[in-house]
């Protein structure tokens, strides 16, 4: 690899590149659009488009695309070349401001949740100048928002940008009250940690469930899983290290701040973590990361699995969404400083977050709801479906002193001595980590640990930004009319923390006792996607989004319908795949093995007469026969459950039928099949086992 300083961002039309290539006045006007939201003049757009095109062509681009995030959970792109014909039969390379600013893809095949009919195909992609364009392959990628012909958001980015504006607007009201005249905006920032599995490509191709569903529908646990805890942070295998090196280089070229990489807890599981960036850019970069993970893995004859739970009984994969808020002058508003109990501004923003998480815990749960993530949440490898906040001992002590009206005894950081003279003592952090908490304060940010590995982080941050904006709006309304600012501030912080203490929990979220305790506190326990999604349309949530202009009533209903429909479609694909694998692969395989066992027993009897001991064969045949009958009956029952569910027309009723009828039927099929795997010879079993898959990359 060339010098990292030369490589990083070399394929990005960055601020540095714009300064070099744009006229000073054009650059200045564009920055006013990016930083202050001022309308972009078409004349400025034309100059920017021409400079962007020339730069992209120098990088080898022949096409451009408006890159957007429809409500499929992944990105979309349509490529157009730069060529324009001339009168003499040649072509020119052209790219206008209007082509930069607006595209017109066919929106008919993207989810809309009833916003428009299929025949109403028009949609618009609109340039997001706050996220830099980049070249990937032979194409200039232009990050965009996506809306319908009638103006409703059809993507994940538009609501995210709206929520960021709402948060900034309300936070600035608070900062002005504290006398801050330097900042002009507040941004939410995110650093999303990405977990994933790598398995051998040849093994993957033999598993139809992995191909169609992204997870294994069958498979018994291998003799060795993660019990020895020897995978976590272990030495990285040569093939994986080569993959990671290329992944880093490609991410760095695109300006993605890939920072940390390591082996995760489960066999074949790994993690990549970036440095924080502005939330909409972090969302773009995480989509790029997921795409490149999957693409580059194939070059090394591996497949990257992003499903939340690809292997039953083995830890799944999440995406820790490290969220914070900061001014445009670089001040982190969630940094307590050295004396958090004295920092009134920090305590007010902390109270705003605690209030938001408590009042809108359902929205945070909804933002991570999916058929895949339902397998992971609450499985003692990820937070439960109950949302709570971890603050740590010091901040909890501050909260207790405020709510009780008592003084707080600030503690000096304790020096840790670890009993080896050559190793220096070091200050212990004032809060430990709590890996079981869904929403943990970790020094100057909150780590939202519930997001699934295959998910876009856009929805989680949209909901979080909006909920916190609402808390700040209420605070600002009260403080702006206060006769005594300090007295009102103290009362506001105290009453808010007292009212929402129930959401704070520093213990073990995996403990069953917490489930009972959370119920006593009145906290929600929305265990599955169908349980969670109806809360999206509750009056308080509709009012929240409409108040801050993040979602209209129509847009919310569309997202509810899309999420429910996707849940049903995913489970339908899984159930159909399961029945086909059972009938076409497993049942014939075990029948053939039974036949071989019977032939072996008969051959023994023919050679040895009545003295032949065929106990092994007959016992095994009997066990396999019973399980084969059970598998067949369970498969038929699954087909019947699927047929009954698919006949339902109401999407909510259908989703609950999948949860209550189809999923249990799938579990019965799997139980019989996995038991058969343990009895069937390796030669006859029709696809790679967990042991084959998890230890396939050497």
Matching CATH number, 4-154, of 3.40.50.720, 3.30.499.10, 3.10.20.70, 3.40.50.1580: 3.10.20.70
Question: What angle (nearest 5°) sits at the alpha carbon of residue 90, between those of residues 87 and 93?
Answer: 105
Matching CATH number, 194-318, of 3.90.1580.10, 3.30.590.10, 3.30.2010.10, 3.40.50.2300: 3.30.590.10
- If we measure between CA atoms, which residue out of 251, 272, 258, 193 comes closest to residue 9? 251
Burial class (CB in 10 A: 0-12, 13-18, 19+), 386: buried
Q: Beta 439-441 vs 389-390: how paired, if at all? A: parallel
pLDDT in tens, 442-471: 889 999 999 999 999 999 999 999 999 999
Residue 107 binned pLDDT confidence (cut-offs 50, 70, 90): low
pLDDT in tens, 525-568: 999 999 999 999 999 999 999 999 999 999 999 999 999 999 99
Find the range with the poorest average confidence among 82-91, 353-362, 632-641: 82-91
Higher pLDDT, residue 599 or 118: 599
Sign of the Cα torsion 30, 34, 38, 39 reads positive
pLDDT in the model for residue 415:
47
Find the range with the poorest average confidence among 27-36, 250-259, 296-305, 366-375: 27-36
In CATH terms, is domain 566-694 a member of 1.20.120.1560? yes
At residue 6, does pLDDT exceed 60? yes
CATH 1.20.120.1560 segments of the chain: 566-694
Residue 423 binned pLDDT confidence (cut-offs 50, 70, 90): very low
Reduced to 3 states, what is the DSSP secondary structure of residue 100?
Answer: helix
**Alpha carbons 59 and 139: distance in angstroms, whole number:** 9
Reduced to 3 states, what is the DSSP secondary structure of residue 393?
Answer: helix
CATH 3.10.20.70 segments of the chain: 4-154
> Can you tell me the mean pLDDT for 51-62?
95
CATH 3.30.590.10 segments of the chain: 194-318
At residue 416, does pLDDT exceed 50? no
Find the range with the poorest average confidence among 181-190, 225-234, 336-345: 336-345
Question: What pTM was estimated for this model as a whole?
Answer: 0.93
Residue 5 binned pLDDT confidence (cut-offs 50, 70, 90): confident
> Can you tell me the mean pLDDT for 519-528?
96
pLDDT in the model for residue 428:
46
- If we measure between CA atoms, which residue out of 356, 413, 346 comes closest to residue 389? 356
pLDDT in the model for residue 116:
65
pLDDT in tens, 317-328: 999 999 999 999
pLDDT in tens, 143-168: 999 988 778 888 999 999 999 999 99
């Amino acid at each position: 690899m060339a010098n990292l300083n030369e490589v990083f961002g070399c394929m990005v039309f960055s601020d540095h590149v714009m300064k070099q290539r744009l006229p000073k006045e054009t650059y200045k006007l564009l920055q006013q659009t990016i930083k202050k939201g001022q309308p972009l003049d078409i004349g400025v757009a034309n100059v920017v488009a021409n400079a962007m095109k020339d730069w992209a062509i120098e990088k080898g681009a022949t096409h451009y695309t408006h890159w957007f995030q429809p409500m499929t959970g992944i990105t979309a792109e349509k490529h157009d070349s730069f060529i324009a014909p001339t009168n003499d039969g040649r072509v020119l390379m052209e790219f206008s401001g209007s082509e930069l600013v607006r595209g017109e893809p066919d929106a008919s095949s993207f989810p809309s949740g009833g916003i428009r009919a299929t025949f109403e195909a028009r949609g618009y992609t609109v340039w997001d100048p706050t996220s830099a364009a980049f070249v990937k392959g032979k194409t200039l990628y232009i990050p965009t928002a996506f809306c319908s012909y009638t103006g409703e958001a059809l993507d994940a980015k538009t609501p995210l940008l709206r929520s960021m504006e709402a948060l900034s607007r309300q936070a600035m009201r608070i900062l002005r009250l504290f006398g801050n005249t330097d900042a002009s905006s507040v941004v939410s920032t995110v650093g999303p940690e990405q977990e994933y599995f790598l398995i051998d490509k040849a093994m993957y191709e033999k598993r139809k469930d992995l191909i169609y569903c992204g997870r294994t529908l069958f498979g018994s646990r291998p003799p060795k899983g993660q019990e020895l805890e020897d995978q976590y942070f272990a030495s990285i295998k040569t093939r994986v290290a080569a993959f990671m090196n290329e992944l880093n280089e490609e991410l760095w070229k695109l300006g993605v701040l890939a920072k940390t990489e390591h082996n995760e807890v489960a066999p074949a599981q790994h993690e990549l973590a970036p440095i924080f960036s502005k939330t909409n850019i972090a969302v773009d970069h995480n989509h790029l990361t997921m795409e490149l993970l999957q693409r580059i893995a194939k070059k090394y004859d591996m497949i990257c699995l992003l499903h939340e739970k690809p292997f039953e009984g083995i830890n799944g994969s999440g995406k820790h969404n490290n969220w914070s808020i900061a001014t445009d002058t670089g001040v982190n508003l969630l940094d307590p400083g050295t004396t958090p109990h004295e920092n009134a501004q920090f305590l007010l923003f902390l109270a705003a977050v605690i209030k938001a998480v408590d009042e809108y815990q359902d929205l945070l749960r909804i933002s991570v709801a999916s058929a895949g993530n339902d397998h992971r949440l609450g499985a003692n490898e990820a937070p439960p479906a109950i949302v709570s906040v971890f603050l740590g001992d010091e901040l909890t002590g501050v909260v207790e002193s405020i709510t009780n009206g008592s003084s707080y005894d600030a503690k000096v950081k304790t020096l840790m001595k670890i009993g080896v003279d050559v190793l220096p003592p070091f200050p212990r952090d004032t809060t430990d980590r709590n890996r079981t908490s869904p929403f943990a304060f970790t020094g100057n940010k909150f780590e939202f640990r519930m997001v699934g590995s295959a998910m876009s982080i856009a929805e989680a941050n949209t909901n979080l930004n909006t909920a916190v904006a609402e808390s700040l709006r209420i605070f600002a309304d009260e403080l702006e009319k206060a006769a005594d600012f300090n007295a009102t501030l103290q009362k506001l912080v105290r009453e808010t923390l007292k009212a929402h203490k129930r959401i704070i929990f520093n213990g073990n979220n995996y403990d069953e006792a917490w489930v009972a305790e959370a119920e006593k506190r009145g906290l929600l326990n929305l265990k599955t996607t169908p349980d969670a999604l109806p809360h999206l349309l509750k009056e308080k949530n509709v009012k929240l989004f409409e108040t801050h202009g993040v979602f209209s009533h129509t847009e919310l209903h569309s997202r509810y319908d899309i999420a429910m429909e996707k849940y049903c479609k995913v489970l339908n694909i899984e159930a159909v795949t399961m029945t086909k694998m059972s009938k076409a692969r497993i049942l014939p395989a075990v029948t053939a093995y039974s036949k071989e066992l019977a032939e072996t027993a008969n051959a023994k009897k023919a050679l040895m007469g009545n003295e032949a001991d065929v106990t092994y064969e007959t016992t095994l045949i009997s066990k396999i026969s019973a399980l084969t009958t059970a598998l067949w009956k369970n498969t038929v029952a699954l087909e019947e459950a699927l047929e009954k569910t698919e006949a339902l027309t109401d999407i909510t009723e259908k989703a609950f039928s999948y949860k209550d009828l189809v999923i249990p039927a799938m579990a019965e099929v799997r139980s019989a099949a996995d038991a058969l795997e343990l009895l069937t010879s390796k030669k006859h079993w029709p696809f790679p086992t967990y042991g084959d898959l998890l230890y396939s990359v050497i």
